Structure 1
Amino acid sequence: MQCHLFPTNSWFIIFLIIICVHAPSSAFSDDDERYLSCVKSFDCGNIKGVGYPFSGSDRPDYCGYPGFELGCSNQDPEITIMQLSYKLLGINNQSRTLNVSRTDYTENLCPTLLSNTSLNPNLLSSTSDHAEVTLYYGCPSPSPAGFSAQFTCNVNDSTGMMGYFITVNLSVLSMTAPSLISYLTACNNSVKVPAHLSAIMPILPNPTVAQLLEAIYQGFELECSANDSLCDTCKSSGGQCGYNQTTTAQLVVNVSV
């Protein structure tokens, strides 16, 4: 899977032509070493055969693009996005999409730290199958009549913190339940957690905590925001793509071994 936005300035194209060469098979060169390193794939759990733009395990940093480093913990592949850890659930090479879920919401709605999900728009963007669950923490008691989507947990050293969750936008609630809007804005914190829209829609009428956790566990989809025609061409000819950490330029290494 290739997910890198290539610069279009002329010097960069020249650089690509220079390094996308066939090294002599009789002499071992730096290109040979990089090729042999980057031809290895990342394998962890059910995720197999992962290549560029990802690095990790037997794939050195220069075999992937910054921001796409993978880890493997207890056969669970993980990726860090904007300082938050996500479990990598799947990769679709054809659509250039990833399916990920937040590791801090795997078992309950009470993470150690409260952090919103954020993305680098230059690397990743949400797909059409996207919804956001808003979790509210430190809400006043009692709650409005008829509002039962609640949970209790200890977050940020607070004991018995009351929390609520909603699966619709506040703009919708402002028209249907203005008193609930006033209540939720009085809560101490809120966190937005993405999920598949297709997983949220069935539980919209009356979601339970268990149903919400299951929807979050199914993850959400991200699309690599890039055009990789040059890298695709090199790979189709038997080459390997990487990233020069020193010059911050794309490496496209095509060698004979």
Structure 2
Amino acid sequence: MEAHRLALSSLITLSFFLAILPPSYCTDYARFVNCSRPYECGRIKNVSYPFWGGNRPESCGRQGFKLECYNDEYPIIKFEELEFLILNINQAQNNMTIARLDLWSGSCPQTYLDTVLNYSFFDYAPTVLNITLFYGCPPQVNKSIPVQNRFTCLEGSDANNNAYFVNESSAKIHILEPEKCRGKIRVPISRNAIIDESAGVVHALNESLNQGFDVDYNPLHDTACNGCVRSGGNCGSKETHQFVCFCRDGERSYSCPGNNMYSLFSSHFPGLG
């Protein structure tokens, strides 16, 4: 009989708590759980705010930081028309190493697009060196380029498939009529990725492109996010892109309260917390 009264009392208390919980409790708790999951793709693991994608909803990150998984190997981030493979992310330093997807399997893209970033959130690191690739150049242009800077792109039956590259250190090379080339693109590489032609210019160029280049991203909301995490919450964004801290019992502007309704609820019903 005593056990029956205890069970009835617990049921009444539980009903009371459920009645006074805010309507958004379940939704906010789901966001707390969702944003506690790190993003993972291939060798890139444990990625959190400001990045989102995969099993992390948009509310778990920031605008401009959406990731997609490429062949279960690398995450991809998109800037305008170009997609970039993410080779490494250092969240402690707010930077990452990326490489152009269209140049990943070779230095001859189908379309000629300069490398661009979303400069509202990203910028090139000091370790970056720019090179310019020229494609479809006529013979008079090709003859003015040092042999070690030339390579060939296969374009079917088109005989005009001469190509070459120049970097910042070779910019003083006198190039005859480069505007007569079919196209050109500007591509960043790492200054440490020295193009060594001893193994062949095409191989060396591809190796340099595949090493990628470093970009820094805007540490906006880092202080707020650190405070949110220390308080037991998970960082995210509202539909207005404003920072929000997801707590077990709902959302807060910056941090989770120490003695909140969730704590009180869990103390009465530890099996449900």
TM-score, scaled relative to structure 2: 0.74
Aligned to 1:210: 203
Within a 5 Å distance, the mapping from 1:96-245 to structure 2 comes to 96-142=94-140, 143-144=142-143, 147-148=146-147, 149-154=149-154, 160-168=160-168, 172-173=171-172, 177-178=173-174, 180=175, 182-200=176-194, 203=196, 208-227=201-220, 228-245=222-239
Q: Choose 226-235 or 29-38, whichever is displaced more.
A: 226-235
**Higher RCO (Cα < 8 Å, 6 or more apart):** 1
> Do the aligned residues in 2 keep the contact of 1:153 with 1:160 (CA within 8 Å)?
no
* C-alpha RMSD of matched pairs (Å): 2.7
Where in structure 2 are there 5+ consecutive unaligned residues? 1-20, 249-261, 263-272
Letter in 2 for 1:152: T
Letter in 2 for 1:58: N
1:159/1:81 Cα in 2 relative to 1: closer, same or farther (>3 Å)?
A: farther
Q: Deviations over 1:99-137 (max 9, x none)?
A: 111111112111121111111222001111101111001
SS of equivalent to 2:56: coil
1:42/1:155 Cα in 2 relative to 1: closer, same or farther (>3 Å)?
A: farther
Determine the C-alpha separation between the residues in 2 that align with 1:120 and 1:146. Answer: 33
Determine the C-alpha separation between the residues in 1 that align with 2:224 and 2:82. Answer: 31
Bigger radius of gyration among the two:
2
Letter in 2 for 1:133: I
1:51/1:187 Cα in 2 relative to 1: closer, same or farther (>3 Å)?
A: same
Q: Does 1:30 align with 2:27?
A: yes
Determine the C-alpha separation between the residues in 2 that align with 1:154 and 1:124. Answer: 34
Higher helix share: 2
SS of equivalent to 1:222: strand
TM-score, scaled relative to structure 1: 0.78
Letter in 1 for 2:219: A
Q: Deviations over 1:139-186 (max 9, x none)?
A: 11142256222222256996642211112267x41xxx33x2x33233
Instruction: Provide the aligned length of Structure 1 versus Structure 2.
Output: 225
SS of equivalent to 1:34: helix
Q: Deviations over 1:45-100 (max 9, x none)?
A: 10111111111111011111121111112222211122311111111122110111
